[in-house]
Amino acid sequence: MALISFKNVTKTYQTKEGPLVVLDNISFEVAKDEFVSIVGKSGAGKTTLLKLIIAEEKPTKGRLFLEDKEINKLKGKEICLLRRRVGMVFQDFKLLADRTAFENVAFAMEVAGYPDEKIKEDVMEVLKLVGLVEKANRFPFQLSAGEKQRVAIARALIQRPDIILADEPTGNLDPINSWEIIKLLVKINELGTAVILATHVKEIINTIGKRVISLENGRIIRDEQKGKYLI
């Protein structure tokens, strides 16, 4: 069974100028240990696609699944449980400003009700994986952009999610840090977690050499294993 399935999904926003179709009859699947890049220009629908997976948006038409759970039918606490199975990394990091790196990562475990000892142990382990043990007690404003993104990745990883969604994770980073983050995501994928990376950075996609889904005006125009950025 596929981990993520989109079945004829359409997302339309109502605007003053009339309906705006952001995703138009999209269908694809992502397997359990797959690394998939979603590419396309700004406004192609990449972020909306990721928002649908974490139930931040609902599709206008069609159905989408996380394994056998129909995401668009989830409600209340089921959505919270879904979000604990899906780690999310954002371009603007979305860290809690009044909490240290350790506390930001720990928060994801606290919401799931893990005991303090387990949280301490696991958070230090994940911070070690992203190379931030030394800066565990620093607040976001005391960290560089690259370090903040690594904290965000650690937070996404801590609950051992089935999949990590990365929405333009290198958007605010310099080239060196961008590569560090991409390498980290590839490593996470190699350890068995599926990754969907949404980006418009051509060099990154062409170097990874994994599956690429190309979006244009809300439609899938290309879906290739070992794909390239060809828009």
Which residues of this protein are in contact with other proteins, per CB under 8 A? 54-56, 76-77, 79-84, 88, 94-99, 103, 107-108, 110-113, 115-116, 155, 159
Q: How far is the CB of 210 from other proteins (least distance, A)?
A: 25
CA distance 42 to 40: 7
Q: Which is nearer to other proteins, 89 or 188 (CB)?
A: 89
Q: Which is nearer to other proteins, 162 or 201 (CB)?
A: 162
CA distance 12 to 18: 10
Using DSSP, state whether 56 is helix, strand or coil: coil
- Picking from 183, 188, 185, 230, the residue whose alpha carbon sits closest to that of residue 206 is 230
Q: What are 74's two structure tokens? A: 């989830």
Q: How far is the CB of 207 from other proteins (least distance, A)?
A: 29
Q: How far is the CB of 188 from other proteins (least distance, A)?
A: 17
Q: How far is the CB of 82 from other proteins (least distance, A)?
A: 8
CA distance 212 to 226: 7
- Torsion angle, alpha carbons of 169, 84, 226, 175, to 10: 20
Q: How far is the CB of 29 from other proteins (least distance, A)?
A: 24
- Burial of 178-192, coded b for 16+ CB within 10 Å and e otherwise, reads bbbbbebbbebbeee
Q: DSSP states of 108-147 as a string?
A: HHHTTT--HHHHHHHHHHHHHHTT-GGGTT--GGGS-HHH
Q: Which is nearer to other proteins, 35 or 114 (CB)?
A: 114
Q: Which is nearer to other proteins, 99 or 200 (CB)?
A: 99
Q: Which is nearer to other proteins, 38 or 158 (CB)?
A: 158
Q: Which is nearer to other proteins, 55 or 101 (CB)?
A: 55
- Torsion angle, alpha carbons of 50, 56, 59, 60, to 10: -130
Q: How far is the CB of 88 from other proteins (least distance, A)?
A: 6
